Amino acid sequence: MPGRALKLAFGAVLLAALLPAASALANDTTLNLSVYPPRPIGASDLHVRMKSEHITIHFGREESRVEVEFVFENLADYEATAWVGFPDEDLLNRYLSFIAVDNSHEPSAWQFYNMWEDEFGGPAADPAESRIEDFKTWMRLASEPESSSVELPYSIIRIERTTSFVPDLTDFPNAKWELQMALNGLLVCRAFELTWGPKQSLVVGHSYKTANGANVLGQVLFQYTLETGGNWRGTIGRADIDLYLEDGWQASDLRFKEKQPQEYEIPFTVPDASEFEQVSDTHLSATWRDFEPQGERGWIYIATQPTYPGGQE
């Protein structure tokens, strides 16, 4: 049994080591601010579809830069208005760290991040590893040229997915598993309001940079979550994914899913090698059509080859 125990323990270490790669990057989601507490909107409540998205990732040694443009189409023959949110896991970690230190002084749902920075000078407990920097967002009519894009102001809003769930982290402010539990109940979003005319399509774009993750196998890791985009009407019509490798990375440096089952799961790149077109040694491109954002089409994941001997073949 010692060998089995070692394998289980190593698997637990692998899981824990993956947490830094759970980047604060996600598809836009729809928000209902007319109820208390504010909640995400169900897929049947808004006749707006994510018609397409183009995700461009520049993957470097230390950080990645992301640019994504969504096309949201109003399927109804009447005007639609909705709050749209970019879920930010880094802000959520900061929020939970704050209430862990002083949960009697909980910041308001609106603009708590600014208060956090101004009055408290930064994280009171364990900060998130993947901070989003240089976040910008813009919009335009889909019928207009890119040059017509205008800046899209946003607010910071706390959203509750199910119940009024705020874990008591007083005794364990740095416990990663507590923070992961909280992710199931809370979202913190950079949120903005959009209005569509009848049958109108809007383009919404974001750009930012964030630190990459890593694990005990020496892999460099990055994740972009698509699952939060699952509450738009219908399927996601199309996702175009362009991956540019920088700082000396080449396509051969990426690890893809092995055909044979492994003794323990080593993180692998998604989309799969069979879905990527290798445009060059440093540029991979893939397209997913008419899909539900779940399972292995619920995220984009970049994992390099292991460098630690225990992770090599």
Rounded Cα distance between 74 and 200, Å, is 5
Q: Would you give the end-to-end CA distance of the chain in angstroms?
A: 24
- The DSSP annotation for 97-157 comes to HHHHH-TTSPPPSBSHHHHHHHHH-S-SS---SS-EEEEEEEEEETTS-GGG-EE---EEE
Coil/strand/helix, residue 215: coil
pLDDT higher than 80, residue 296? yes
Q: Which CATH architecture has domain 2-311?
A: Sandwich (2.60)
- The DSSP annotation for 30-98 comes to EEE-SSSS-EEPPTTS--EEEEEEEEEEEE-SSEEEEEEEEEEEE-SSS-EEEEEEEE-HHHHHHHHHH
Domain ranges across the chain:
2-311
Rounded Cα distance between 172 and 179, Å, is 10
Structure tokens at 142: 């889909």
Is the CA virtual torsion 222, 227, 229, 234 positive or negative? positive
Check: CB of residue 224 under 8 Å from CB of residue 90: no
Rounded Cα distance between 216 and 264, Å, is 13
Contacts 24+ apart (CB under 8 A), 107-110: 109/37, 109/38, 109/157, 109/158, 110/155, 110/156, 110/157
pLDDT higher than 90, residue 260? no
The pLDDT value recorded for residue 99 is 58
Among 33-47, 61-75, 200-214, 252-266, the range scoring the smallest mean pLDDT is 33-47
pLDDT higher than 70, residue 199? yes
Q: Prior bond to 20 cis, omega within 30?
A: no
Rounded Cα distance between 123 and 222, Å, is 23
The pLDDT value recorded for residue 175 is 46
| Average pLDDT of every residue of the chain | 77
* Residue whose structure tokens are 């799969």: 272
Structure tokens at 123: 């994280």
The pTM assigned to this predicted structure is 0.78
Cα 282 to the center of its chain, rounded Å: 23
The pLDDT value recorded for residue 162 is 56
Rounded Cα distance between 251 and 127, Å, is 32
* Residue whose structure tokens are 């219908």: 234
The pLDDT value recorded for residue 145 is 96
Structure confidence at residue 36 as a pLDDT band (50, 70, 90): low
Q: Which residue has the higher pLDDT, 107 or 11?
A: 107
pLDDT higher than 60, residue 107? no
